[in-house]
Structure 1
Amino acid sequence: MDRSTLNRPSRREVLALGAGAALGIAGLGVLGAGRALAGAIENATITAVGDMVSGAKYKKDGPYRVGFSNGFSGNTWRTMCVTAVKNEAAKHPDLAEFTIVDGQGDITKQVNDIETLISQQVDAILCIPNSGTAVAPALKEATKEGIVTVPFNLPVEGEDWVTYCGTDPSNKGRALGDWLAKALDGKGRIVALGGIPGNSYTAAAWAGAQEAFKGTGIEVLAFKDAYWEEDRAKVVMADLIAAYPQIDGVWCDGGQVGAGAMKALLAANRPLVPVTGDDYNGLLKLYLAEKDKQPKFDIGLMSEPTWESVIALRAALDLLRGKDVPRQQIIQPQLITKDNVAQYVKPDLPDGVFVDTDLSDEELKTIFG
């Protein structure tokens, strides 16, 4: 079984929360590569972008009710993201109810989920959109109703939301494109694999990569959706291998997809090639297992923290308590290459783990069994 699909959260979860100690976002700094990901949140670099959002506008007395519209739960990044935010929610005594709804990858369902949360008069809505365009009107409606709207991880079209947090997918995609072009000495034929169809993260990242390829000798043979799932990526890549006798590199915005692509090359007895992705443990483990046998194999990876959900919830609660927060909090991803991969890999944990996490190894073992 593909562990990237284990432990999916239920379609709808409502957590009744008890007492606990609230945590802030203090002590942010630069994470040294030698320390790997110990204290991931506390040591992260998070940049405030735009004007501060006034907490006075949203301040109200608790206890609070917060909803989280998760666009889909089809991989272990989402599982870890949901686990992290549940852990955080339990630490806030003034958070009485935390509702999680799963859009199941369906754009219409997610919009309906958000409208349901609005009708329930929650105080804040967190959201990872399936489509940053499709959810924009619903988030606009919620914002007009005075609800604190916090999209995170995937960008949302327009400006009708309260505060955002996440990495910058456009910059990440461009950086990964730059890395791949350099790894190929500025020329070669590549394929590109993305996430779920129509998602705003892949769209922004791929646009950034295409900018990086301009003026180089990189030829893009094909771009395909691979749903951020390793098994799907293997099937998609197998078709590309059959169609193209020469593939010199693979651009991916997700590590599961990168791992699936490399395993498809292995199955076809084709040499492994430079690949991009994120902090998916399976890709890190695969690189260390194959690098000595595959002279062209190389990795250029940028993490996508599973604790973005924690920052999103803290931002929502800060505003409800009357504290100002940045309009955007942009998280600096960790760069993982052949030079430091040994500091990040978790060899004793499943492939489905994403290593830029605030969850302990013990918690991860519990999640993945």
Structure 2
Amino acid sequence: MLGLLKTVGLGMLVVSALAVTSLAHAEDIKLMDGVAPRHDDTRLTAAGAFKKDPPWVIGMSDFGVNANTWTVQVAHEAENAAAKDKRISKFILLDAGFDQKKQVADIEDLIAQHVDAIIVQPVTSTSANASIAKAVAAGIPVILHTGRIDSDAYTTEIQGGAEHFGKVMGDWLVKTVGDNGKIWVLRGLAGHPEDTNRYNGLLESLKGTHVQIIAEEHGDWQYDKAKKLCETLYLNNPQVDGIWSSGADMTRACVDVFKQFGTPIPPISGEGNNGYFGQWITDGFKSISPEYSPAQG
């Protein structure tokens, strides 16, 4: 699945927002490999609106660096990319730790430091909207990453297409368990737009079927929490035909639970993390792994 981009093409998330010169036509925009403009949004940020000569100070407001292995990797990749780019004099990474108020304070802090651009991975679809608008009004471009918000106040975004992601998994699971199957649903972080939109994709898959969701829980995309949830679900009712997992480390956790109890692993959706791929190869259970382009992070 291609990453989906609104407004300004990104050579990197930040570099093009600051270095773009003349982008009079959409076809002139240079996109990262694996990124395509979102088909339902043709708006463009004015060429050169945020142009500034380097060196640049870049801020990043992360919704939760230690949420799972993917978020840890993205944070370190961002730090590494900034360290290698001579145009970036300083990279400031702030961790909201899933706290909406902390993220608002972090963005306000970055504005006060007069950074040249801010990357935001939102905690929820609404919590940081006012701060994002404030940053843009102060002349600071805001790059929204992995999580759509209920506002157009940002400068540009890079997304993976969460609804499609969830629907691909849902379509496969419906086909695999049959029209009358009973499934568990393991969701991500409650309130996070990526969780909401992946789940909406699943609901689209279930329309017109008799598939029943017999259990639905938020595992926060974390291994430890998802493992406890799957243990509880299994002990309460092990009769499940399939599992829709929103991804990250939750699939690996649930697979380990079934192995722990010595019972067959039901069909379960997953996300392209290394640990999960290793399980899939070794244990041979039925699964599917939709994945975003590496350009997503």
Indicate conservation of the 8 Å contact 1:194/1:226, yes or no: yes
CA distance in 2, matches of 1:94, 1:289: 45
Q: 1:303 aligns with which of 271, 291, 294?
A: 291
Aligned pairs for 1:58-207 within 5 A: 58-74=50-66, 75-207=68-200
CA distance in 1, matches of 2:198, 2:212: 17
Q: TM-score, normalised by structure 2?
A: 0.84
Indicate conservation of the 8 Å contact 1:133/1:157, yes or no: yes
Q: TM-score, normalised by structure 1?
A: 0.68
Indicate conservation of the 8 Å contact 2:223/2:252, yes or no: yes
Specify the SS of the correspondent of 2:76: helix
Q: 1:272 aligns with which of 250, 265, 268?
A: 265
Higher relative contact order (Cα pairs below 8 Å, separated by 6+ residues): 1
Specify the SS of the correspondent of 2:52: coil
* 1:181 CA drift (Å): 0.7
* 1:43 CA drift (Å): 9.1
Aligned pairs for 1:315-330 within 5 A: none
* 1:100 CA drift (Å): 0.5
CA distance in 2, matches of 1:46, 1:307: 7
Task: Say whether residues 1:247 and 2:237 are aligned partners.
Answer: no
Specify the SS of the correspondent of 2:249: helix
Indicate conservation of the 8 Å contact 2:163/2:199, yes or no: yes
Specify the SS of the correspondent of 2:168: helix
Q: 1:55 aligns with which of 47, 53, 57?
A: 47
Specify the SS of the correspondent of 1:66: strand
Which structure 2 residue ranges, 5 or more long, are not aligned? 1-9, 13-30
Say what the alpha-carbon RMSD is for the aligned residues.
Answer: 1.9
Indicate conservation of the 8 Å contact 2:136/2:154, yes or no: yes
Q: AA paired with 2:296?
A: E
CA distance in 1, matches of 2:162, 2:115: 29
CA distance in 1, matches of 2:222, 2:81: 27
Q: AA paired with 2:60?
A: F
Specify the SS of the correspondent of 1:52: coil
CA distance in 1, matches of 2:57, 2:34: 29
Q: What is the number of residues matched between the two proteins?
A: 266
CA distance in 1, matches of 2:104, 2:209: 41
CA distance in 2, matches of 1:198, 1:288: 33
* 1:243 CA drift (Å): 2.1
- Give the 3 Å change call, closer, same or farther, for CA 230–178 of structure 1 in structure 2: same
CA distance in 2, matches of 1:204, 1:228: 14
Which structure 1 residue ranges, 5 or more long, are not aligned? 1-22, 26-41, 292-296, 310-369
Q: Once the two structures are superposed, what CA deviation does each residue of 1:267-311 show, in whole Å capped at 9, x if it has no partner?
A: 2233211111210112111122212xxxxx3111112456535xx
Indicate conservation of the 8 Å contact 2:70/2:248, yes or no: no
| Aligned position for 2:23 | none
Indicate conservation of the 8 Å contact 1:276/1:301, yes or no: yes
Q: 2:35 aligns with which of 32, 41, 46?
A: 46
Task: Say whether residues 1:287 and 2:280 are aligned partners.
Answer: yes
Q: AA paired with 1:113?
A: D
Specify the SS of the correspondent of 2:204: helix
Q: Once the two structures are superposed, what CA deviation does each residue of 1:52-110 show, in whole Å capped at 9, x if it has no partner?
A: 32232111232211100011112221221122112221232222111100111211111
| Aligned position for 2:216 | 223
Q: AA paired with 2:221?
A: W
- Give the 3 Å change call, closer, same or farther, for CA 129–252 of structure 1 in structure 2: same
Specify the SS of the correspondent of 2:171: helix
| Aligned position for 2:15 | none
